[in-house]
Amino acid sequence: AQARAEARAHESAVTRDGRRIEVFANVGKPEDADAAVAAGADGVGLFRTEFLYFDNDHWPTEEEQYEAYRRVLEAFGEKPVIIRTLDIGGDKQLPYAQLPVEENPFLGLRGIRYCLAEPDVFRTQLRALLRASVHGTLWVMFPMVENVSEFRAAKEWVARCKKELEDEGVAVREDIPLGIMVETPAAALTADVLAREVDFFSIGTNDLTQYTLAADRGNTDVASLYDPLHPAVLRLIRMTCVAAEQVGIPVGMCGEMAGDAELTELLVGLGLQELSMSSAFVPLVKERVRGVDTRMARAKADAAAAAESPEAVRAKLAAVDGAGT
Ligand code: PEP
Ligand code: MG
């Protein structure tokens, strides 16, 4: 199966009933972009920009960032590259940043909250992104957004930086989609409201699972509770997909769950149109998509979301598999 998957890695992933699913790669460093292209990724679903900030002893300059973004955008050309703005705070601290000491960092100043509180940091990154936009197909994504105001504020910063650059005579692409990570229960529960504002969603199941189940993603004592197959998480994912579908915006997933080939059918059934994962998983997930029948997948997903526990979800997934083939 792996050999066949590798052989077809550069073909698009289309379900048996003709539904195209974009299979994207998560990229952590610009150097990973070539591996992602080689693996057959249809685009980048999550470029985590944190490396620029961690592998440094100073705030990365606009120029340093521009070079990094440009490299990834050029590697993918016409294919979309979703670059996420700085997702700092929580468990991710920086030695040179004066982050506040918080009792509950995961419930504190992280993601978009930090960037809106530190406009200089945000502005530098946005200018670098906008400058790089002419070198490929850039989509910009904001992390940890949980209400419409945060998104509007971020969007205004983009407009301001674009105006600045244009006044300086620097070219910027016109059509840059702006989207959000759906990674808090609040965002998922109000996805219908957010969907009217944003250009796309990407579900971050690593955080969505942690916040929904109140189980720290890095705490081994509660590792057995931290389970993305909990029906509560599945319902939030489905809710987000339904909201996106209703207004016709793309919805993807970039948490670890997206790379689990055992879950591909379930995820297509929940309504995801794009899955983003480590490059290594791209060929196999594409091959799994080719075996999916959307109607059956929907039924399976509905049964999973209605199950009483993660264990019951696993049992249902296994059972329907046996019955269907
Ligand atoms: C997520 O939360 O699922 C996600 C993809 O973001 P990160 O793992 O970087 O928090
Ligand atoms: Mg996250």
pTM, 2 dp: 0.96
* Class of residue 313 by CB neighbours under 10 A (exposed 0-12, middle 13-18, buried 19+): buried
Query: 65 near 125, Cβ under 8 Å?
Result: yes
> Whose Cα sits closest to atom 6 in ligand 1?
204
What is the pLDDT, as a whole number, of residue 99? Answer: 78
**217 known ligand binder:** yes
What is the pLDDT, as a whole number, of residue 75? Answer: 97
Q: How many CB atoms lie within 10 A of CB 82?
A: 27
DSSP SS3 for 30:
coil
Relative orientation angle of helices 231-247 and 205-213, to the nearest 10 degrees:
130
Whether 206 lines ligand 1, by a CB cut-off of 6 Å, is yes
| Proximal ligand: closest to the CA of 228 | 1
Relative orientation angle of helices 231-247 and 294-305, to the nearest 10 degrees:
130
What is the pLDDT, as a whole number, of residue 310? Answer: 98
What is the pLDDT, as a whole number, of residue 98? Answer: 77
Relative to the CA of 50, which ligand 1 atom is closest?
9
- Can you give the pLDDT of all 325 residues of the chain as single tens digits? 889 999 999 999 999 999 999 999 999 999 999 999 999 999 999 999 999 999 888 999 999 999 999 999 999 999 999 999 999 988 777 888 877 889 999 999 999 999 999 999 999 999 999 999 999 999 999 999 999 999 999 999 999 999 999 999 999 999 999 999 999 999 999 999 999 999 999 999 999 999 999 999 999 999 999 999 999 999 999 999 999 999 999 999 999 999 999 999 999 999 999 999 999 999 999 999 999 999 999 999 999 999 999 999 999 998 755 444 4
Is 254 a known active-site residue? yes
**207 known ligand binder:** yes
DSSP SS3 for 109:
coil
| Proximal ligand: closest to the CA of 202 | 1
Q: How many CB atoms lie within 10 A of CB 105?
A: 16
Relative orientation angle of helices 119-132 and 62-76, to the nearest 10 degrees:
40
> Whose Cα sits closest to atom 7 in ligand 1?
206
Measured in Å, residue 189 CA sits from the centre of ligand 1 at 18
